[in-house]
Structure 1
Amino acid sequence: MIMVTPSRKPRVAADAKDGAETLDFGMLPGLVGYVLRRAQLRVFEDFIRSFEPLALRPAQFSALLLIEANPGRSQREIAAGLGIQRPNFVAMMDEFEARGLARRTRSEVDRRSHALMLTPAGTDLLVRAKAVVAEHEARATAGLSEPDRLRLLALLKAM
């Protein structure tokens, strides 16, 4: 149930015992964008909390996965695949290199671009991160049967 506290900020409350007034959300619960965004916020909150010990944000985890799956691909390709602007991805790669997780080398095919590779430390971190993401996914989809989880993925991909 969504409640409003005296500070007037909406929040999720377990019940109405705290005296907060119940909000009428009108048509919002019937709008795909609204419901999708609320679900995304809950999923990201759990992801961020789960990955805090690894010091990884969602975009960083995604980038490491793509670099692992596509060794030697360029920064431009990985950034485009994730929908990350090039300057932001360059900064992310700078951080990966500073942490010893990934490295850039001159591409053998196009000397103007960099080929990306995980380091052994990056591979080790990704092994741990995959275990964390499996637990996170289990929590995020706990209320769904496996056929429903697969249907949800298919529906979201269709959008």
Structure 2
Amino acid sequence: TLSFIPQLKDVAEIILYHHEDYSGTGFPYKLKGEDIPFGARILRIADSFDNLTNPCSQSLSKLRMDEAYRKLEEDTVKIYDQNIVRKFRDVLDSLKMSIKEKKRVVQLLPEDLKAGMVIAEDIKTSSGILIFKKDEAVNSNMLSRMHEYIKIDPIRGKISVYVK
């Protein structure tokens, strides 16, 4: 495990405790509140947000950023540190402002899409499956999944992205 690498001991602790709930109902040790390492509380929020906006399971629906944040807010009292959730909102707001500043749209082939680009229109496969939602910032994980999926069910046409 990471804890055996001296330089990664702090990282190992953050990962170990990132499923603890602020109310003390999480795992593995049912730590509560400030007893949960700060980095683990941050990772808990980021991990949950990522799971809401990029679900691994096909049975879960992908939420937009605002919908995912509302879900985090609903669970704040029990699961998350409310101060970190508020700071996370500030980060999301600044990301949304950055997205709105990107006005010009260009068309790309799927293979030209890169991490960091922001989608200008919903992207669907030939069978109508939604791959990316409008205004979604693309990350490398999402790109990998898209490239695997479109081998089976290709994207119709080009992809619209915002550029500065």
Same fold, TM-score > 0.5, yes or no: no
User: Based on CA coordinates, which of the two structures has the bigger radius of gyration?
Assistant: 1
Structure 2 length-normalised TM: 0.23
TM-score by length of 1: 0.24
